[in-house]
Structure formats: C-alpha cells, structure tokens
C-alpha cells in the first residue's frame, strides 16, 4: 500500500462503509471525473457518464486496496465507462445508418462558416488513445506517469501519444485558418 493521499484515505474509509467518507470522496473527485468524461465523449453525456463511473467505482471499491492513488484508479474506471459508451454509440449509429440508407443523399459537407473550431471539435478529431492521453495530461493536469497508470501503458507511450496529438491539433488549426 502506498502512502495514502487524502482522497485515497477517503476511498479506503468509504470502502469500510463510512457514509460520510463516501459523500466526501464523490465531492472531492466529481468535478475532475466530469471534465474527463466531457472531454472524452461530450459535455452532454458527461453527467450520465460521471454517474455511471461512480456506480462502477462503488461496486469495485471493495477490491480497491490503495496500492495506487484513488485518482488514477477512478479515472481508469471513467475511461472504461466512456469507451463502453462510445462502443454503444457506434453500434447505434451503424444500425441507424443501415435503416436510413435508402433516404441518404450526397450533400457536400459544408465547413464551419465562422472558420472557428471549438476545443471539443479539435479533440473529437483525435483518435481515442491520443485524445485520452492529451486530456489526462494537458486538460486535467495529470503527470505523464499518472496518465500511464490510468491507461495501463508505459510512460513513453503517453509521451508519444501527447506529442502526436499536439501535431494533429496544430495541423487541424492551420487547415481551418487556411480555409
């Protein structure tokens, strides 16, 4: 067991059934979990994904032994919750596309009339692994080591994903400004 930070201590007390610690644990982590899910999926789904994350976390809390900080453990659960949600969305979209295939028309896609991209637009252009690494380190402020722990990959992989994400974002902004 590592030296417990305050949130990890709360989680361990919550695991033992302390209702006050359970509430304090949620209050202490909810904003970060919400920002993470909003960045990975979208702000409109973040409330539901945050709630699902806590449902999963409290179900898994008896197995949490405090060997890592609870923050990385919880964000790992949030990442898997988002991945499950996105898989379900993809399945629904494929079904919708098959059902609507006869009504489909080839209308050319128009670019953003204001030639502006929001942060969400830019992040949505990144692949899942690069987006997750970028959000963990650049938006939420986790260290590369903490992000590697959340993603269960080596630190070098996180560094590489963030570097590639930055390159893609710079290219996307440059392309938007040129058009």
Strands (E), 14-157: none
* 109/98: higher pLDDT: 98
Question: What does the pLDDT read at residue 117?
Answer: 63
Q: Quote the mean pLDDT of the chain.
A: 84
What does the pLDDT read at residue 73? 95
What residues does CATH 1.10.1740.10 cover in the chain?
1-107
Q: pLDDT tens digits for 50-62?
A: 999 999 999 999 9
Digit-coded pLDDT (tens) for 13-48: 999 999 999 999 999 999 999 999 999 998 999 999
Please, are residues 85 and 55 in contact by the beta-carbon 8 Å criterion? no
Q: For residue 137, what are the CA distances in angstroms to 12, 76, 163?
A: 26, 14, 11
CA distances from 69 to 1, 3, 65, 72, 172 (A): 10, 9, 10, 6, 35
The CATH fold of domain 116-178: Arc Repressor Mutant, subunit A (1.10.10)
Q: In this predicted model, which residue has the larger pLDDT, 89 or 49?
A: 49
Calpha distance 4→100 (Å, rounded) = 53
Q: How far is CA 86 from the centre of its chain?
A: 11
Cα-based angle 63, 67, 70 (whole degrees, multiple of 5): 75
Sign of CA dihedral 41, 42, 44, 47: positive
Residue the block writes with tokens 């070098």: 156
pLDDT value, residue 102: 38
Task: Kindly tell me if the per-residue pLDDT of 88 is higher than 90.
Answer: no
Could you tell me the pLDDT band of residue 116, with boundaries at 50, 70 and 90? low
> How far is it, in rounded angstroms, from Cα 126 to Cα 40?
10
All CATH 1.10.10.10 domain ranges in the chain, comma separated? 116-178
pLDDT at 74: 97
Question: Quick one: pLDDT band at residue 70, thresholds 50, 70, 90?
Answer: very high
In this structure, which topology does domain 1-107 adopt according to CATH? Rna Polymerase Sigma Factor; Chain: A (1.10.1740)
């Amino acid at each position: 067991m590592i030296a417990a930070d305050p949130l990890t201590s709360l989680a361990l007390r919550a695991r033992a059934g302390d209702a006050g610690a359970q509430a304090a644990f949620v209050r202490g982590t909810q904003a970060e979990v919400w920002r993470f899910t909003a960045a990975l999926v979208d702000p409109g789904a973040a409330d539901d994904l945050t709630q699902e994350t806590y449902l999963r976390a409290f179900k898994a809390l008896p197995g949490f032994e405090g060997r890592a900080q609870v923050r990385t453990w919880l964000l790992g659960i949030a990442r898997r919750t988002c991945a499950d949600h996105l898989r379900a969305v993809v399945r629904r979209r494929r079904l919708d596309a098959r059902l609507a295939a006869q009504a489909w028309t080839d209308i050319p896609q128009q670019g953003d009339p204001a030639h502006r991209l929001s942060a969400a637009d830019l992040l949505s252009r990144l692949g899942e692994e690069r987006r997750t690494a970028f959000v963990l380190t650049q938006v939420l402020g986790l260290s590369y080591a903490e992000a590697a722990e959340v993603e269960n990959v080596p630190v070098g992989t996180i560094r590489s994903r963030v570097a590639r994400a930055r390159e893609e974002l710079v290219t996307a902004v440059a392309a938007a400004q040129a058009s």
